């Protein structure tokens, strides 16, 4: 019987409702019930349990997963909480199945974002920091100097986040435009990095996530090809292993 039990956040992600992180937030907010009882974090679900989110029954998956590449326009917010944000990505796309974005792209930014109903692949992509390249084209408010390129590429301490950015690839395109490839996902990272160097971002577009390239007009989406999906899964194949090793290391350090 114990082999049939699943952690509640995993159950919701495998059912295609949301990612595990989002599921944890729903559980913490008291919006999830098991057999009409509000559960604690870490509760497990049995095959005959009835799981609901906001009163809606969430059942086991019956269909194949959806994987979309979407060109997000400026002004659209990457949230699934349609009750709070009217300009949200879910209402904008209006896809016939429930899907959710993989990561985020700021409201004033545009470009590529992936959407899916596969909660497990979301977690693997977000964990795959070593292979999770994201490429952007950025325009700033003043001429780009070689010093600016070197500072951006070398890593910057962001005081308000108390974090250093990782070294990254930066290339000047023209007088006001550069490309940058990140493997981090800090909040408003590129804008913060530019601000540190006394530059202001005028436009920011993401053109690639790992092996997936932006190739659809603004506001439109397409399904990933079989080849794209295979290459993507190859890139994130070690992410679970890396995550588990990190958690074991954290637990060992905690015991000391």
- 26-53 burial, b if ≥16 CB within 10 A, otherwise e? bbeeeebbbeeeebeeebebeeebebeb
- The torsion angle over the Cα atoms of residues 99, 216, 177 and 195, rounded to 10 degrees, is -10
Cα-based distances in Å from 60 to 41, 57, 63, 119: 20, 10, 10, 13
Calculate helix-pair angle for 189-196, 146-154, nearest 10 degrees.
130
Active-site option among 36, 54, 91, 106: 106
Q: How far apart are the first and last CA of the chain?
A: 35
Tokens of residue 93, six digits? 């796309």
CA distance 14 to 61: 7
Distance of CA 51 to the CA centre of its chain: 25
Transcribe 23-78 into DSSP letters.
Answer: HHHHHHTT-EEETTBPPPTT-EE-TT--EEETTEE-----S---EEEEEEPTT-B-
Q: Is 106 a catalytic residue?
A: yes
Q: What is the DSSP letter of 3?
A: G
List the catalytic residues.
106
């Amino acid at each position: 019987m114990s082999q049939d039990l699943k952690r509640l956040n995993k159950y919701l992600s495998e059912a295609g409702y949301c990612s595990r992180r989002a599921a944890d937030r729903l559980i913490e907010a008291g919006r999830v019930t098991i057999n009409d009882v509000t559960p604690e974090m870490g509760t497990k679900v049995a095959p005959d349990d009835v799981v609901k989110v906001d009163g809606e029954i969430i059942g086991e998956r019956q269909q194949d997963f959806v994987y979309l590449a979407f060109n997000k326009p400026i002004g659209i917010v990457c949230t699934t909480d349609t009750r709070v944000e009217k300009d949200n990505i879910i209402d904008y796309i209006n896809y016939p199945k429930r899907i959710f974005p993989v990561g985020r792209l700021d409201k004033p930014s545009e470009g590529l974002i992936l959407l899916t109903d596969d909660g497990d692949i979301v977690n693997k992509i977000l964990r795959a920091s070593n292979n999770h390249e994201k490429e952007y084209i950025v325009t700033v408010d003043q001429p780009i100097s070689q010093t600016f390129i070197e500072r951006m590429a070398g890593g910057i301490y962001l005081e308000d986040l108390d974090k250093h950015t990782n070294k990254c690839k930066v290339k000047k395109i023209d007088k006001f435009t550069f490309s940058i490839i990140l493997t981090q996902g800090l909040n408003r990272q590129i804008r913060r990095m530019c601000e540190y160097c006394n530059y202001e971002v005028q436009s920011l577009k993401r053109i690639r996530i790992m092996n997936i390239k932006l190739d659809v007009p603004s506001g439109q989406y397409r399904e990933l090809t079989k080849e794209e999906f295979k290459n993507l899964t190859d890139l994130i194949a070690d992410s679970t292993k890396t995550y588990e090793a990190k958690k074991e290391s954290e637990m060992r350090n905690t015991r000391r």
